[in-house]
């Protein structure tokens, strides 16, 4: 059930409501201009085994993250040993990928997923600026209007250095280093407890990867857990509280781009 907190902060579950289905692809549109954002979106995309339809990106940056829904072994160093679980075709060029991987899809590029199976693959997508329309699919009559890139922006979480901030860490996955000068994608780790309230000068979406806690927006709050999708308006005072005994890990995407370490205390 979607909860709206102070200032327009929204919290919903990843598979809430009926998905839009096309072939092996099921899509839940969680956050976007239709729900009140200025420029950012968040979609949950589930790919059943097999070849997906080809998705056409709009005139925007699209940032993907391949989930590991079995997060019992999500230590970054052990991620090095994982084998490819699927492949992505970007402008018809095939690249094998693993879970816990960020992918930058450039404006007007196309992509499709070849899921080796036997289980579904879940990818979290954020577009900036949100085109505010349904996904477009390539019927095979034409491809991307961009030249093909020899160096696709595919970045594993395990390959990114941890940046410590007090008693927590974050790893930047997609930013201008891999070609996206508009959007920043990161994964952050929050220990048990509650940090001071703060705000950012960017619009942000969060997806809880593991753990449990509470999302605070001003004086309002609601429980969160793995699978929670969160929208934070620019300038909204907030805090993610970890109410569990272990790590709370989250995926974050914000626009315009910057550093996850920059925050303004209140």
Q: What's residue 141's pLDDT?
A: 44
pTM of the prediction? 0.92
Decide if pLDDT at 168 tops 90. Answer: no
Peptide bond into 149 cis (omega under 30): no
DSSP class per residue in 65-88: EE--S-GGG--TTGGGGPPP-EEE
Minimal CA–CA distance to 45: which of 131, 111, 125? 125
Does domain 17-156 sit in CATH 2.60.120.200?
no
* Average pLDDT of the residues in 173-196: 94
For the chain, the straight-line distance linking the first and the last C-alpha, in angstroms and rounded, comes to 30
CATH superfamily of 160-265: Jelly Rolls (2.60.120.10)
Banded model confidence at residue 90, pLDDT cuts 50, 70, 90: very high
Task: Judge whether 153 and 146 are in contact, CB under 8 Å.
Answer: no
**Taking all residues of the chain, what is their mean pLDDT, rounded to a whole number?**
90
Interatomic CA distance for residues 13 and 17, integer angstroms:
9
Q: What's residue 182's pLDDT?
A: 93
Same fold, 17-156 and 160-265: yes
Q: What's residue 71's pLDDT?
A: 47
Domain ranges of the chain: 17-156, 160-265
Contacts of 93 (CB under 8 A, 6+ apart): 148, 152
pLDDT tens readout for residues 225-244: 999 999 999 999 999 999 99
pLDDT tens readout for residues 200-228: 999 999 999 999 999 999 999 999 999 99
Q: What share of the chain is helix, strand, coil (3-state, %, to 5)?
A: 5, 50, 45
* Residue bearing the bigger pLDDT, 56 or 164: 56
DSSP class per residue in 103-159: EEEPTT-EEEEEE-SSS-EEEEEEEES---SPPEEE-SS---SSPPPSS-EEEEGGG
Banded model confidence at residue 150, pLDDT cuts 50, 70, 90: low
Beta bridge partners of 189: 169, 249
Decide if pLDDT at 74 tops 90. Answer: no
190-218 core/surface letters (b: 16 or more CB in 10 A; e: else): beeeebeeebbebbbbbbbbbbbbebbbe
Banded model confidence at residue 149, pLDDT cuts 50, 70, 90: low
Q: Which two tokens stand for residue 147?
A: 């030249």
Distance of CA 48 to the CA centre of its chain: 19
Q: Which two tokens stand for residue 202?
A: 């960017």
Decide if pLDDT at 77 tops 90. Answer: no
DSSP class per residue in 174-210: ESGGGT-SS-EEEEEEE-SEEPPPEE-SSEEEEEEEE
β-strands 10-13, 228-232 pairing:
antiparallel
CA distances, 195 to each of 94, 239, 251 (Å): 42, 7, 17
């Amino acid at each position: 059930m979607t909860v709206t907190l102070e200032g327009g902060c929204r919290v919903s579950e990843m598979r809430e409501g009926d998905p839009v289905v096309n072939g092996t692809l099921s899509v839940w549109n969680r956050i976007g201009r239709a729900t009140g954002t200025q420029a950012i979106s968040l979609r949950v995309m589930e790919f059943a085994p097999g070849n997906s339809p080809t998705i056409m990106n709009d005139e925007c940056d699209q940032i993907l993250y391949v989930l590991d829904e079995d997060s019992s072994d999500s230590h970054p160093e052990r991620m090095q040993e994982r084998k490819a679980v699927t492949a992505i075709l970007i402008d018809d060029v095939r690249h094998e990928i693993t879970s816990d991987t960020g992918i930058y899809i450039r404006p007007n590029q196309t992509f499709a997923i070849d899921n080796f199976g036997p289980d579904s693959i879940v990818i979290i997508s954020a577009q900036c600026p949100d085109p505010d329309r349904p996904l477009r699919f390539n019927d095979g009559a034409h491809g991307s209007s961009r030249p093909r890139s020899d160096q696709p922006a595919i970045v594993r979480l395990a390959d990114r250095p941890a940046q410590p901030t007090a008693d927590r860490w974050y790893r930047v996955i997609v930013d201008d280093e891999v070609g996206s000068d508009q959007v920043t994608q990161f994964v952050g780790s929050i220990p048990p407890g509650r940090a001071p309230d703060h705000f950012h000068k960017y619009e942000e979406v969060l997806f809880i990867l593991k753990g449990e806690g509470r999302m605070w927006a001003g004086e309002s709050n609601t429980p969160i857990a793995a699978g929670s999708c969160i929208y934070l308006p620019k300038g909204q005072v907030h805090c993610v509280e970890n109410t569990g005994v272990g790590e709370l890990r989250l995926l974050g995407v914000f626009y315009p781009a910057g550093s996850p370490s920059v925050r303004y205390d209140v």
